[in-house]
Amino acid sequence: MLATWVLVLAIQGQGADTTPPFVYQAENTGKGFAPPAMPDVQQLPVQRSLPDALAWSNGQGRVTTFDQWAQRRNEIAHMIQHYAIGTKPTVPADAVKAHMDGDTLLVNVTVGGESLQLRSTIHYPKTGNAPYALMIGTSMISLPRQLFEDRPIAIMTFHEKQVNDYTQWGSHHERGEHPFDRLYPDLTENGAYSMWTWGVSRLIDGLQQLGSEVTKIDTQHIGVSGCSYAGKMALYCGAFDERVALTIAQEPGGGGAAAWRTSYELADTVETLDRTDYHWFKESLREQFGGDNVYRLPYDQHQLCAMVCPRALLLLGNPDYKWLADASMLVSAQAAQQVWHTFGIANRFGYSIVGGHGHCQLPPSQYPEVEAFIDRFLLGKEVDTSHVQIVEPRPQSLSE
């Protein structure tokens, strides 16, 4: 039986001295708060430095206690959906029907008379006892299998094409033609990351609905991980679903953890807001915030990272691949970490930017930090994660 030290609490009503929980039972604890105003780009001020993640959207002060974080997190979520990726729809519980076919989880979602089915096989560990922690691979898990072989952690893959069948290679459908669009024809401006995030949440719905007796999964210990464009996907999924206890975003690049503002100021070899795949984002993001208008964006990607707080986040980089803009990710990571630090839980956030290996090929030198986060936040072990702030080697572009 996994350790039961994870506290599942509602943010509302917590005292300032209460230790923030490690995970929640709800997809979004802040959905009851009214959204902030969303000005047009011409009405937004120029902000050349990263916007303060803890500052209220109305400009009236900052978050000072953890009690207030649910509302501020909700403000950030609304900004990212409105300006960048599109709406992640909420789904009523009775619209989701799940069952197991052997070791395969099947989740049927019905909205407006249209249905979509998600299928993912759960690969159970050969060690430990059920219910097991679970790592969901967005598209796939590129982390080395040996990190999981001897641990009581189940693995499953979120097959993103079941929701949005866009691919970077070969034929694909366009906006308005994806499976998601049949359910939500009024959201055809959405980028893929809102759709894929929605899909992972429906898998978690199914796991919760069936319960551990059926699935053998402990839904208080769910992680998500992916690399490259799927590293972005994992980050968005962890940010937008508070039932995810651990997010590991591996080499996510621009539009993931790298700050758009900082990337714009780097050499033209990095992924910027002007140069990324716009099947992933709303076209209006580039139209409104391209070029110098990036400084009018009312948020930046450090705030996407901060949405994971108070849960655990580990960012993995590879400075050998300039396109990933890891110098920008470092700036973003250090800004985001201040949110965890403010609430006295800085050791729930870490980053490891290490070169000398192929893209999405984690080297053995990075295993210890990944293992520490897996052991602590999926298995409940007493492991020190306060030291995971690593940049090796430090190229000139990554100098602080």
pLDDT at 224: 98
Out of 82, 172, 173, 359, the active site residue is 359
> Which residues partner with 157 through β-bridges?
137
Identify whether 36 is part of a domain. Answer: no
Do residues 330 and 353 make contact, with C-beta atoms less than 8 angstroms apart? yes
Phi, psi of 87 (to 5 degrees): -75, 135
Neighbours of 345 (CB within 10 A): 18
DSSP 14: -
In a domain, 394, yes or no: yes
CA separation for the pair 201, 204 (Å, rounded):
5
Domain count, the chain: 1
**Host domain of residue 177:** 41-398
Quote the pLDDT of residue 399.
45
Contact 44, 57 (CB under 8 A): no
69-113 pLDDT tens trace: 999 999 999 999 999 999 999 999 999 999 999 999 999 999 999
Q: Kindly give, in sequence order, each residue whose CB lies less than 8 Å from that of residue 396, ignoring residues fewer than 6 positions away.
A: none
Quick one: pLDDT band at residue 200, thresholds 50, 70, 90?
A: very high
pLDDT value of residue 396: 52
CATH number of the domain to which 345 belongs: 3.40.50.1820
Calpha distance 29→240 (Å, rounded)? 10
What region, left, alpha or beta, does residue 356 occupy, with left being phi > 0 and alpha being psi -120 to 50 degrees? left
Q: Residue 366 falls within a domain, yes or no?
A: yes
- Residue 78 annotated among the catalytic residues of the structure: no
Listed in order, strand segments (DSSP E) in the chain are: 96-101, 104-111, 114-121, 132-138, 153-158, 217-227, 246-250, 312-317, 349-354, 389-392
Displacement of CA 284 from its chain's centroid (Å): 22
Task: Report pTM.
Answer: 0.94
Share of the chain above pLDDT 70, in %: 93
| pLDDT tens by residue, 256-306 | 999 999 999 997 789 999 999 999 999 999 999 999 999 999 999 999 999
Catalytic residue flag (residue 359): yes
Instruction: Determine, yes or no, domain membership for 138.
Output: yes
Please tell me the distance from the alpha carbon of residue 262 to that of residue 248, in angstroms, as a whole number.
22
Q: What is the CA radius of gyration of the chain?
A: 20
Which of these is catalytic: 228, 263, 328, 332?
228
